[in-house]
Amino acid sequence: MILDVAGLSFRYNGRSVLEDVEFRVNRHEILAILGPNGVGKTTLLRCINTLVRPHSGTILLDDRDLLAMRRDEVARLLAYVPQRSETGPITAFDAILLGRRPHIGWDIRREDILKVHAIIEKLHLGDLALRPINSMSGGELQKVLIARALVQEPGLLLLDEPTSSLDLKNQVDILAFLRMIVKGHSLTAILTMHDINQAIRFADRFLFLKDMRVFAAGTREIITPELIGEVYGLPVTVVKVNGMPYVIPGSD
């Protein structure tokens, strides 16, 4: 799906958080939203997900206006993986089954259960299926939450800091896993990230926010010491490792 955001502004308690944000994500692309803390990365995701209403601007998904749609219609088009989710004594299978909520009427059908089963098999979560999610590690839970979002059968996947609570191995695992899914299922994905080097290796395009606005957007080529220095207010050096830019704090 193609996402087109134009002129998006959001205020919170009279204070401007986002101003005139404009960008586009093409089909099957992964976009990473980057920028310093408090710049409005999560707010931007929440606007796209219609969790909060922007004060002006348009959000078009394949030329359909997301802001004019009903909540359940939006839920059938895009899925959101929040940074944190409440956990309780329910099994991973039931937690993933919840992702079918936008598609069910009075009750789940056999097809819904089979779809959950299919995604569990595909993601090799079989061992977790009947375990309660409140006894899982951060990495396991994150996979379950991603599986829930996928079983929603969205065209656009939004993830808020999907790796923030994970150790190094789990970070690499989850990102590889996400990339495989996005590329293998004709999805489009947008995520916020803190670790710029991880983002460079994972995403196709990058959106840098600064002072409530889009500071720069583009592919890996735009990542220069000048840009990173401007956005984060910190002198950096960019070196090439295996042909990929690698950002190191410090000016030499």
Partner 1 sequence: MHLEVNTSPEPDGYLHYIRQKGLFIAAAGLCLILLVLVAIAVGSSFIPIPEIAAVFLSPSGGGVSNIVMNVRLPRVLSAVIAGAGLAAAGVVMQSVLRNPLSSPYTLGVSHAAAFGAAFAITVLGAGSLSHLISDSVVVRNPYIVTICAFAGAMCATTALLVVAKYRSSQPEVMILVGVALAALFTAGTTFLQYFSSADQIAAIVFWTFGDVGRATWSDLILIIAIVLPSLGYFLFRRWDYNAIDAGDETAHSLGVNVERIRSFAMLLSSLITAVVVSFLGIIGFIGLVSPHMMRRVIGSDQRYLLPASCIAGAILLLGADMVARLIIAPAVLPVGVLTAFLGAPLFIYLLIGRNVP
Phi, then psi, of 139 in degrees rounded to 5: -70, -40
Residues 178-197 that bind partner 1 (CB under 8 A): 185-187
Residues 208-247 that bind partner 1 (CB under 8 A): none
CB of 171 to partner 1, least distance (A): 22
CA distance 216 to 149: 29
CB of 241 to partner 1, least distance (A): 33
Residues 78-137 that bind partner 1 (CB under 8 A): 78-80, 82, 84-91, 93-95, 98-99, 101-102, 104, 106, 111, 113-121, 129-130, 132, 134
Nearest alpha carbon to residue 204 among 4, 23, 29: 29
Binding mask 32-71 for partner 1 (x = CB under 8 A): -----------------x-x-------------------x
- Tell me how many residues contact partner 1 (CB under 8 A): 52
Q: Which of 17, 150, 166, 236 binds partner 1 (CB under 8 A)?
A: 150
CB closer to partner 1, 23 vs 93: 93
**Residue spans of alpha helices (H) in the chain:** 41-48, 71-77, 92-97, 110-122, 138-151, 168-184, 196-202, 225-232
Q: Is 101 helix (H, G, I), strand (E, B) or coil?
A: helix
CA distance 181 to 44: 23
> Which residue has tokens 């996400």?
178
Q: Is 208 helix (H, G, I), strand (E, B) or coil?
A: strand
The yes or no reply on residue 76 touching partner 1 (CB under 8 A) is yes
CB of 140 to partner 1, least distance (A): 16
CA distance 220 to 167: 25
Are 161 and 83 a contacting pair, CB within 8 Å? yes
Q: What is the contact surface with partner 1 in residues (CB under 8 A)? A: 49, 51, 71-76, 78-80, 82, 84-91, 93-95, 98-99, 101-102, 104, 106, 111, 113-121, 129-130, 132, 134, 150-155, 185-187
